[in-house]
Structure formats: structure tokens, C-alpha cells
Amino acid sequence: MMPTSPGPQDDELGLSGHLGVLLERRRSIAATVALTLTLGGVYLLITPPVYRANAVLQIEQKGSSLGELDELLSDAPSVAATEIEVLGSRSLLGRVVDGLRLEVSATPVYFPVVGAAIARAYGGPELAAAPWGQGAYAWGGERIRVERLNVPPELEDVPLTLVAQAAGAYTLQAPKGGVLLRGEAGTAATTEPGSAQEVELLVNELRARPGTRFQLVRRSRLAAVEELQRALRMSEKGAGTGVLTVALEGSDAAQATRTLQAIAEAYVLSNVERRSEEAGRTLTFLDSQLPGLRQGLERAETALRDYRMGKGGADLGLEAQAIVNRSADLEKAISELSLERSELRQRFTDHHPLIIATGNKLARLRAERTLLGTQLKGMPNAELVSAQLTRDVKVANELYLQLHNKAQEYRVLKSSTITNARIIDAPVVTRAPVRPAKPDVFAVSLVLGLVLGVALAFTRQALHQGVSNPAALEAALALPVFASLPLGPGRPGDKPVILARTCPRDPTTESVRGLRTRLQLALKDAPGNVVALTGTSPGVGTSFVALNLAWVLAESGKRVLLVDANLRGGWLHRCFQDARPHGLSEVLRGTVPLEQAVLADVGPRLSFLGAGELPPDPAELLSQPRFAALVAHLSARYELVLFDTPSILAVTDAALVGRHAGVGLAVVRAGAHPLREVTSALHQLAQNGVPVRGVVLNGVPRTRTGRAVNGIYQYEYPAVS
């Protein structure tokens, strides 16, 4: 029973096998790498460069030394994260958009794909000439500066086309065609009164050939702010340092620098305004508390004075004075914290960490005040009342003075320009574009090309249905592979040349000699000395194998006759003479005797019988008894007769010739035919009674390591110097 699976030796693609696949497909891999590198170059050419402007800001971690309350108001934990959010806020960036008019964009219209690259490469003082009559596109040197563009809401974010005219004049066209307005550079232009869409345009500068088009877009303020937010990058240099790095990327280096400078200045100004606003709110709160504290101080002083006038003075002992002083300090601290918490509640919720910390501190101070109150109750009554009144006066006086001083300080802060933010490094832009980076692009292109090339090589190897493994052939067909003939530098494709004569040391010639050895062993058990070679399909190299096998057989000392039995297109005669000689077809018809048709001594002990004139009925000639008699005669006359026949799957000639052969060999092209096709060819030969003894695997790709792909080994023996 014929095996259906290749068995364990089907494919030994180990490390050397994989290297063999890569070397076999090295040209396609190189082509893939070249293609990806070319695409990378095209990408660098057509992609507009992106520049990056950088600036460094510092946020002071401490306040302006106006006290603990000022510190709480000016700096909270994670101040850098807070300031980063402020820098990227819509309110701040909106000021920049309004100040620089970033909502208006005006760009030349370039030729598709390569026009922008050509314009960037142009460096001449004059306007670049328009090639190919494409004067509507910008090709280099064009400039436009739009100061103002006002459009109705329905035209926001809609591109409008400005067409340059002579002497700085222009026309502005609507998206669907039609002229919206006409104007000149340096003069504001508006649509006609009563127009359906009122548009106002002021172009400060216009330098272009007549007919050159520009694209103008008035974006909504929100769209311009969001685009600026996406281009802005902010980070803190080290945790807790308060030093912020701000970067802005854009295709226009000068514009990126101006925009980042405006952002930094707007942030510093916003910080001043924010601190002044906070100081104003705090001052309002302090002013609202001062009258009540003043009244409380007056009441405490009046009560103490009345008590001393009515009861007389009572000197306090040292212990009572200490308790009074400590109690006054506690009341002062409790009042301060209560005020601070009240102010913080105007800005934060009750769950904010600052409010929670302030509440915890208040609880501790109140507990200590309760303990001191218990100690005061243990004093004599007169001394207790005097101590309490003295304490109230001292606490009220200190609180009033402290809040009055703070109010004065916040009045100064509100009217000053003191800020906790400053610009350390002014914005500068990189000289070279940050994107696209040439080394990175080419490195990625190279890696991508290698990956794609290798993947394609192994994918083609996996999807390729052609049989190229001799072990798989032997296991599937139950027939031995007599030889694997490599395809190398010394072998010119499938042209039937006598490689054994021109390149006797070529590895292919050595493989043919190995085939000769196997064939001689097979002939010992064969019923005759006639060998027929056929291929599975046209183009497998049957003629090449037959020609070189006959030559090496003759070299071994045998008298060999090579017969070109391909009566449909045989051309082995070209290896011996240019003109087509009389041959097999004339001998079978009886028009030419055998001795006249055979070319004797075309090689050492080698004779040749060509196909002759190609007949219209080759199958009928080969099926006549005359052919069987001819084969018997030749078998007796020569030690070995070798027939080159057409492919079995193309015509039946191979079956007609093979019936008279003692040994039949099937030639299979490595990697060119699926196993099912080879099996079908051998099955057809078997049905016609052709004794196929083995298979010749022809055209096996070789590698420089000496190991062919799919487990076929072939080495070249080194020459002796």
C-alpha cells in the first residue's frame, strides 16, 4: 500500500534549513527592503517637517512670606499638576488664539503629493516657475498674511479659495463656486451690502503669480483652542521642583515660537490676576470680620474696666497668669483657624484635605482649651473672674491687631504685580525638524522591510505546493529518488547543453554521475538495457537529464545510444549539429536506413539518433511493430539505449516508448509541481505498463552553505591546486 504521508523526515527545516530558505529568497527580501526604504524616502519627502519650541517656567513653592494663610491660599499640594492644567485651559489658550488670530489659517494650494516638497526645496529669491502649465498651484516663494477674516457661522471651518490676481489683487471664492468678494492686499474688503453671506477680509501681504490659489479657513474659536491644546506638551522637571517644561510643535518654526511666547506671557499675567483676585476675596472676607472683632474688643475692655472699678483689682498669681496667657494663645489660634477654614470653604468642599487638616487642628486646640477651662474653675472666684476678663481682652486685642495687619498686607498684594510664576528660559525653536526624523524613518523602513521580506519568504515557502523534498517523494510514491540535480551557477537553466562536457567538476555533473551509479544498479535486475526518461509535464528538464546522463554513461566505457524520441519538438540535435538530421521518424517510415540516421561518435563511445523531421502522426509511428523491432535491434547493438520522451501528462508518446524499456525514470522539477500531479503522472505510466523504477528530482535550488532547501545536501568538492 502506497504511503500517503511523508513521515517524520518530511521537512527538516532546522536552523540551517531556515537559513537556506532565506538565502534562496534573498533577492525577494532585498527587493522588499529596497521597496520599504524607497517608501521611507518618499515619506520623508512628502511629509511636512514639524518643529518644536521649548520654554521653561518656574512656579514658586512658597508664598510671599505674608503668613500661614497666604501660604494656604497660594500653594496647595501638587501645585505643578494644578498649574499644568491652568496652562492647558481653554480660557488661557483662548486669549492666545484671540491675540495671535490663530483661528484664521491661510496656506497655498500645492500640487498633490509632491507639490509641497518641491515648494519647500525651492530657495530662490523670485517666485518659482510653474511646470507643466500648472499655474494654479504654488511651487515655491509664495507668501500670504491674513490679518482678519470674518465669516458667518455657516462658513466657519469651511475652506474658501483665494485666487491671486495681478498687482496684489485677489478674488475670494465660495466653496461651491462663485465670487464672494474682490480686494487688494493692504485694504479691507467686504461683500456687497445685502449679500446672503457677509464676509470681511483683510490681507496684509500677498506674493504670488496671477492665478495661484490659496486656501483660507476661519475656524471656530473652540476648534482653534482644541488644536492648540493637542499641540502643547507640558511636564514637570522632577517631582516637587516646580519647574515646568512647555513645548509646542508646529510646521512653522517662527509661528510656534511666537505662540509659545504668547502662552508663557499669558500664563504669567493670568497668575498675577489670579493672585490679585484671591487677595481681593480674602481682603473682602477680612474686612467683613474686622468690625465684629473691634466690637468684641471694646466689650471685653469695658467688662474688665467695670469689674476692676466695682470689685477692685485682684492680682493674679503666677499659675493664673500662665493659664491666662496660654488660654489667650489658644483662643487666638482657634479664631485664626476658624477664619482660615471659613475662607477655604469659599474655595473648596468639606472633603478637601486642607479643610480636613484644619478641622483636626481645631479639634485639638478646643480640647486643650476645655482642659484649661477646668483648671480655671479651680481658682478662687475673684481671681477666676479677673483672669477670664483679662484673657478675653488679650485675645480680642491680639485677634483684632492680627487681622488688621493682614488686611493691610492683602491690600498691598491686591494692588501689586507679585506672582509666583516666572519665565526661566524664553521660547526657542529647534533648528532641525523633530519629525520626521530621518534616522528613525530609515531604521523603521529597514526593519519593516526585513520583517516583511522574511515573512513573505516563509509564507511563500509554506504556501508553495511544489514538491522539493526527496524524502517526501519517496514516502508518498513508494519509489526511490535516484538523484537530486542542483541548479547552480554552472548550469544555464534548462537549455539542453552537455554540462558534463563543459563543466565536468560542476556539482550538477557530479549529481548526474551519482544518477549513473544508481541506474547501473537498477539495470542489473532489469529485463533489458533500454532506459526511457519522461517528465511529469513540459519544462521539467527531461532532455537535459537524458543528454548528460548519456554522456557520463559513455564516459564510463559503455557504448551508448541516445535517442531523441520526442517527435513533437525534439531538439537534442542542436547539441551536435545545427541542421536537423534524418532521425527516428524517417527510420520508422523506412525512408532512411538506420545506419544513415545514426550520428556515430558524437562523444566518447556515444552515438545519437535524432527525432528527424517532425511527423504529423507521432503516436501512430511509435505504436507500429516497426518501432518494437527497432528497439530490439538497438538493444542488441548497443550496451545501453537511452530514450528521451515527451512528458506523460501532455501526450501518450512516453507510454508507447516506455513499454519497450527495461527501466523507466520519471523526471520531476523541484518545487514546480504538486505531489498530486506527480502521482497522477506515475499512475498513468503504470496503467500503460511502463516500469518506472525511480524518480529524478531536477533543478533543486542550492545555497552557498552547501545545503539545499528542504533537506537536500549538495557540496562542491574543492579543486586541487
Q: What is the DSSP string of 212-246?
A: -EEEEEE--HHHHHHHHHHHEEEEESSTTS-EEEE
Among the ranges given (29-38, 298-307, 409-418), the one the predictor scored with the smallest mean pLDDT = 409-418
Cβ neighbours for 610, distance < 8 A, ≥ 6 positions apart: 564, 570, 572, 573, 580, 581, 582, 583, 584, 597, 599
Give the burial class of 350: count Cβ atoms within 10 A of its Cβ; 0-12 exposed, 13-18 middle, 19 or more buried. exposed
Q: What pLDDT is attached to residue 329?
A: 74
Over residues 346-350, the mean pLDDT reads 74
**Are 435 and 49 within 8 A, CB to CB?**
yes
Which range of 307-311, 491-495, 578-582, 657-661 scores highest in mean pLDDT? It is 657-661
Which range of 101-105, 299-303, 360-364 scores highest in mean pLDDT? It is 101-105
- Cα separation, 413 vs 610, whole angstroms: 115
Q: What pLDDT is attached to residue 5?
A: 41
Residue 177's identity, in one-letter code, is: G
- 565: phi then psi, degrees, rounded to nearest 5: -95, 15
Bridge-partner residues for 475, per DSSP?
none
Q: Kindly report whether the global pTM for this prediction surpasses the value 0.75.
A: no
| pLDDT digits 0-9 by tens, 473-524 | 788 788 898 988 887 554 444 455 788 888 888 888 898 999 999 999 999 8
- Reported in sequence order, the residue ranges of 118-231 that DSSP labels E, i.e. its strands, are 143-150, 160-164, 169-173, 179-184, 188-190, 200-207, 213-218
Which range of 282-296, 476-490, 610-624 scores highest in mean pLDDT? It is 610-624
Q: pLDDT-derived band of residue 303, with 50, 70 and 90 as boundaries?
A: confident
Cβ neighbours for 285, distance < 8 A, ≥ 6 positions apart: 339, 342, 343, 346
Q: pLDDT-derived band of residue 617, with 50, 70 and 90 as boundaries?
A: confident
Cβ neighbours for 442, distance < 8 A, ≥ 6 positions apart: 37, 40, 41
Comparing C-alpha atoms, which of 486, 558, 543, 413 is closest to residue 704? 486
Q: What pLDDT is attached to residue 708?
A: 45
Lookup result for grid cell 529647534: 430
User: Could you give the maximum distance between any two Cα atoms of the chain, in Å?
Assistant: 168
Q: What pLDDT is attached to residue 17?
A: 65
Lookup result for grid cell 504654488: 138
- Cα separation, 605 vs 353, whole angstroms: 108
| pLDDT digits 0-9 by tens, 208-248 | 999 999 999 999 999 999 999 999 999 988 777 889 999 99
Q: What letter does residue 364 receive in the DSSP assignment? A: H
183 pLDDT exceeds 90? yes
Report the interhelical angle of 507-524 vs 542-555 (nearest 10°).
80
| pLDDT digits 0-9 by tens, 99-116 | 999 999 999 999 998 999
- 636 versus 650: which is more confidently predicted? 636
Domains of the chain: 15-47+438-462 (no CATH), 53-236 (no CATH), 276-421 (no CATH), 465-709 (3.40.50.300)
Over residues 567-577, the mean pLDDT reads 83
Q: What pLDDT is attached to residue 494?
A: 47
Which range of 243-257, 282-296, 377-391 scores highest in mean pLDDT? It is 243-257
Q: What pLDDT is attached to residue 144?
A: 95
Percent with pLDDT over 90 in the chain: 37
SS3 147: strand
**Are 348 and 354 within 8 A, CB to CB?**
yes
In total, the chain counts a number of residues equal to 721
Task: Give how far the C-alpha of residue 71 lies from the chain's centroid of Cα atoms, to the nearest Å.
Answer: 49
Q: pLDDT-derived band of residue 455, with 50, 70 and 90 as boundaries?
A: very high
Cell of 529: 538495457
Q: pLDDT-derived band of residue 312, with 50, 70 and 90 as boundaries?
A: low
Comparing C-alpha atoms, which of 262, 242, 258 is closest to residue 250? 258
Q: What pLDDT is attached to residue 388?
A: 65
Q: What pLDDT is attached to residue 190?
A: 93
End-to-end CA distance of the chain: 52
15 pLDDT exceeds 60? yes
Cβ neighbours for 78, distance < 8 A, ≥ 6 positions apart: none
451 pLDDT exceeds 90? yes
SS3 591: coil
Q: What is the DSSP string of 594-654?
A: HHHHEEEEEETTEEEE---SPPS-HHHHHTSHHHHHHHHHHHHHSSEEEEE---TTT-SHH
Q: What pLDDT is attached to residue 490?
A: 47
Give the burial class of 642: count Cβ atoms within 10 A of its Cβ; 0-12 exposed, 13-18 middle, 19 or more buried. buried
Comparing C-alpha atoms, which of 710, 678, 669, 673 is closest to residue 465? 673
- 73 versus 108: which is more confidently predicted? 108
Q: What pLDDT is attached to residue 413?
A: 65
